[in-house]
Amino acid sequence: MSIVEVEHLAKTFRSRERASGIAESMRSFARPRYRTREAVKDMSFSLEAGEVLAFIGPNGAGKSTTIKMLTGILYPTSGNVRVLGFTPWQQRHQLAYQIASVFGQKSQLWYHLPPQDTFNLLARIYELDMNEYRKRRDFLIDVFDIADYIRTPARKLSLGERMRCELAATFLHKPRIVFLDEPTIGLDVIAKQRIRDLIAQLNVEEGVTILLTSHDAGDVEQVCRRAIVINHGEIILDESVATLKSHYLKAKTIDLQLAGTVEELLTNEAGDQQSRLKLQLSTPELDREGIQVLKAQGHSLRLEVDTDRCPLEPVIASIMQQQHILDMTISDPPMETIIAAIYGSQGTVDNSIPSPAAVESAGLLAE
Amino acid sequence: MQTEVATARSAGLITRLKRRVRLSTLKYLAILHVSILNNLAYIMEVFFRALLLVVLVFVLTQLWTTTFTLHGSRVLKGFSIADMIWYLVAAEAIALSLPPLTRRIDQEVRSGQLAYLLGRPASYVLYNYAHYLGERLVRLLMNILIGSMLALVMAGVPHFTWQGLLAWPLVAFIALSIDFVLHFSIGLLAFWSEETQSFSLIASRLTLVLGGVLAPLEIFPQPLRSIAQALPFSAILYGPSRTLVHFEAARLGALLIQQCLTLLIGTFIMLTIYRVAVRRVNINGG
């Protein structure tokens, strides 16, 4: 059963434009000029109960705007939305008891007070039975493992600790749908993993429906079962995460810091161009065509591995047999690259998306 | 039979209504409670801020002592120097307890933080009112504590009437509510204006000058006195302070009418601005 139904949703923002310089400032004051921007264009999709949907796209794609319309904070320019049978912007108050949202870049915790105080306040705001609330609070403190700092002022918590408290606060009133807007932004790898595990756990144990936006392909891979990719306010892909992974998330980037120099690992088969550098593998059966050397300098090596053609583990094992690895990072392709690949597969071109090569040369590859 | 069904229905309705009122009251009291706790977390900052009251009252007292001496009189428009000092303390205690409400609302609008508040089953206006009251009450109590000690030293024990002491909390509470309506409305202007601090500055300075924080309005020359008395600012500072220092039943009645009317009209304007503003929400950041 669909609990979220979105039909032809659109949102247009109008913002004032002003050129630089005193004369332009004066002109703008006398005759202001406005620019209209379509943040969301004709968007339609639905969400089933218990689903975990990823809403992904680059900055300014319209992800947050859509979430804010689904929670009733923003009024749409046109289109229809039903969330749990409510029209969000008309019945925001009634809907608020059934849903929850987390905005990764903003905090709902009172800055000078321990999270415990915010929890108590939320219990009153959501009109919870206080005995039920205490049981629920203790359960969430246990699940999110926040007992050690539930009485520490929020200002003294690390970002990861704070985000766990934010999430625990979100689940206090047993919401039926949780909107998570970039919940892992700014977190380190371990904290990100912890948050992903907790979200997945609560989805399974409580059947809560989750709509998650993120820039991070890792969030999508590990937490979600379905993904909607949007760009310029339009849906460009609505697929299962398994399909997305097999088509667009197959390339992993490995950054290595080696004890020796990279030359010992590489062969130059055709001249002295870096693009022709190949990795020497101690395991000959590995498909070397699936491994591309993106950067090789001194002790640093960056590889792109097509996991369809060449699994990661044996590649790393092969390197370890030849060199001592000091440090290693494995990352997903940046969102820009995924979107460029989607456009490529659909035979359309989006000029605003840099090509993977351009992204790499500009040093923008996500870490 | 029909009468019994109707009676049962209305009884059920009353029970639901009572429950709703109780839960709503608890909700906003909880916000007030958390806001007070949040301000008590940095009570030393509140204390040092209150010391400004000492400086202001001391300087104004010196000016009034000189004025009384030059005038060659012990009483000026019904106020002795001791009354004047207590009046100044009462007025300054309210004036200096104003928290940066406009800046907070402005920031919530610009940063998109209001997304959290709008997405909750609570009124954004009442949430902010309870938050503001918590901030203001902590500051006001600290100002009263420090101001009273100062006035006791400089003017001796006051001659307040018990009626004045009883009426003051009521009129001071309404005064704080009027101040909320004024500054919350200005904060909402962030939906249209790129800078609201200038409006806030004008409002707070008008409240100080025309509200009677430097002197009771009786001292003002005509027609400034009539103008100041007719404006809503006098209902915030002059009215409550005079009620405490010089209680008169007839004046209290007139003050309550002025305050209630000001609050009613101000609330109507504020809610109108809010209703228009909430449709213009354009959340920043992602």
Q: Distance, in angstroms, between B105 CA and closest chain A CA?
A: 15
Q: Which residue has the tokens 């929670």?
A: A71
Confidence at residue A25, expressed as pLDDT on a 0 to 100 scale: 73
Q: Which residues of A touch B (CB under 8 A)?
A: 13, 59, 63-65, 68, 71-75, 92-94, 96-97, 99, 101, 103, 105-106, 108, 110-113, 117-118, 120-121, 124-127, 153, 181-182, 213
A346, pLDDT greater than 70: no
Mark yes or no for CB contact B286/A75 under 8 Å: no
Question: Which chain A residues have a beta carbon less than 8 Å from that of B37?
Answer: 110, 113, 117
Mark yes or no for CB contact A97/B286 under 8 Å: no
A21, pLDDT greater than 90: no
Confidence at residue A23, expressed as pLDDT on a 0 to 100 scale: 77
Confidence at residue A275, expressed as pLDDT on a 0 to 100 scale: 52
Average confidence (pLDDT) over A111-127: 93
Confidence at residue A364, expressed as pLDDT on a 0 to 100 scale: 29
Q: Which among B34, B42, B286 has the least Cβ separation from residue A117?
A: B34
A249, pLDDT greater than 80: no
Q: Which among A63, A74, A108 has the least Cβ separation from residue B281?
A: A74
Q: Which among A75, A94, A153 has the least Cβ separation from residue B279?
A: A75
Size of interface A-B (CB pairs under 8 A): 89
Mark yes or no for CB contact B286/A181 under 8 Å: yes
Instruction: Compute the residue count for chain B.
Output: 286
Cβ neighbors of A125 (< 8 A, separation 6 or more) are: B27, B30, B31, B120, B121, B122
Average confidence (pLDDT) over A267-290: 64
Average confidence (pLDDT) over A48-69: 87
Quick one: DSSP state of residue B189? G
Q: Which among A63, A96, A153 has the least Cβ separation from residue B119?
A: A96
Q: Distance, in angstroms, between B101 CA and closest chain A CA?
A: 16
Confidence at residue B1, expressed as pLDDT on a 0 to 100 scale: 60
Question: Which chain A residues have a beta carbon less than 8 Å from that of B23?
Answer: 127
Q: Which among A97, A103, A121 has the least Cβ separation from residue B115?
A: A103
Mark yes or no for CB contact B31/A110 under 8 Å: no
Average confidence (pLDDT) over A120-144: 92
Confidence at residue B244, expressed as pLDDT on a 0 to 100 scale: 92
Confidence at residue B286, expressed as pLDDT on a 0 to 100 scale: 37
B223 touches chain A (CB under 8 A): no
Question: Which chain A residues have a beta carbon less than 8 Å from that of B31?
Answer: 121, 124-125
Mark yes or no for CB contact A127/B121 under 8 Å: yes
Q: Which residue of B has its CA nearest to A106?
A: B113
Mark yes or no for CB contact B34/A75 under 8 Å: no
Structure tokens at B247: 């209680």
- The tens digit of pLDDT for each residue in A135-172 reads 999 999 988 888 998 999 999 998 888 888 988 999 99
Question: Which chain B residues have a beta carbon less than 8 Å from that of A71?
Answer: 115, 119
Contact between A13 and B282 under an 8 Å Cβ cutoff? The reply is yes
Peptide bond preceding B232: is omega within 30 degrees of 0, i.e. cis? no
Q: Which of A61, A318, A28 is nearest to A213 (CA)?
A: A61
Kindly report which listed range (A31-35, A339-343, B104-108) carries the lowest average pLDDT score: A339-343
Query: Binning pLDDT at 50, 70 and 90, where does residue A367 land?
Result: very low
| Most B CBs within 10 Å, among A29, A91, A102, A124, to test the B interface | A124
Average confidence (pLDDT) over A185-210: 84
Mark yes or no for CB contact A127/B23 under 8 Å: yes
pLDDT (tens digit, 0 to 9) for every residue of chain B, 286 residues total? 667 777 777 778 888 888 888 988 999 999 999 999 999 888 888 888 888 888 988 888 888 888 888 887 787 888 888 899 999 999 999 999 999 999 999 888 887 778 778 889 999 999 999 999 999 999 999 999 999 999 999 888 888 899 999 999 999 999 999 999 999 999 999 888 878 888 989 988 888 888 888 888 888 888 888 898 888 899 999 999 999 998 988 889 999 999 999 999 999 999 999 998 888 776 544 3
> Can you name the residues that pair with B131 across neighbouring β-strands?
none
A359, pLDDT greater than 60: no
Q: Which among B33, B122, B279 has the least Cβ separation from residue A125?
A: B122
Kindly report which listed range (A57-66, A142-151, A163-172, A175-184) carries the lowest average pLDDT score: A57-66
Share of chain A above pLDDT 70, in %: 87
Mark yes or no for CB contact A125/B111 under 8 Å: no
Question: Which chain B residues have a beta carbon less than 8 Å from that of A105?
Answer: 285-286
Confidence at residue A366, expressed as pLDDT on a 0 to 100 scale: 30
Confidence at residue B177, expressed as pLDDT on a 0 to 100 scale: 96
Domains annotated for chain A, with CATH where assigned, are 2-10+42-248 (3.40.50.300), 251-331 (3.30.70)
Kindly report which listed range (A68-82, A326-340, B86-100, B246-260) carries the lowest average pLDDT score: A326-340
Mark yes or no for CB contact A71/B34 under 8 Å: no
The ipTM (two decimal places) reads 0.85
B113 touches chain A (CB under 8 A): yes
d(CA A15, CA B188): 18
Q: Which residue of B has its CA nearest to A68?
A: B115
Mark yes or no for CB contact A118/B34 under 8 Å: yes
Q: Which among A73, A94, A120 has the least Cβ separation from residue B119?
A: A73
B31 touches chain A (CB under 8 A): yes
- SS3 per residue for chain A: CEEEEEEEEEEEEEEEECCCCHHHHHHHHHCCEEEEEEEEEEEEEEEECCCEEEEECCCCCCHHHHHHHHCCCCCCCEEEEEECCECCCCCHHHHHCCEEEEECCCCCCCCCCCHHHHHHHHHHHCCCCHHHHHHHHHHHHHHCCCHHHCCCCHHHCCHHHHHHHHHHHHHCCCCCEEEEECCCCCCCHHHHHHHHHHHHHHHHHHCCEEEEEECCHHHHHHHCCEEEEEECCEEEEEEEHHHHHHHHCCEEEEEEEECCCHHHCEEECCCCCHHHEEECCCCCCCCHHHEEEEEEECCEEEEEEECCCCCHHHHHHHHHHHCCEEEEEEECCCHHHHHHHHHHHHCCCCCCCCCHHHHHHCCCCCC
Contact between A226 and A220 under an 8 Å Cβ cutoff? The reply is no
Q: Which among A111, A126, A182 has the least Cβ separation from residue B286?
A: A182
Confidence at residue B170, expressed as pLDDT on a 0 to 100 scale: 95
- SS3 per residue for A33-72: EEEEEEEEEEEEEEEECCCEEEEECCCCCCHHHHHHHHCC
Phi first, then psi: what are they for A7, rounded to 5°?
A: -130, 120
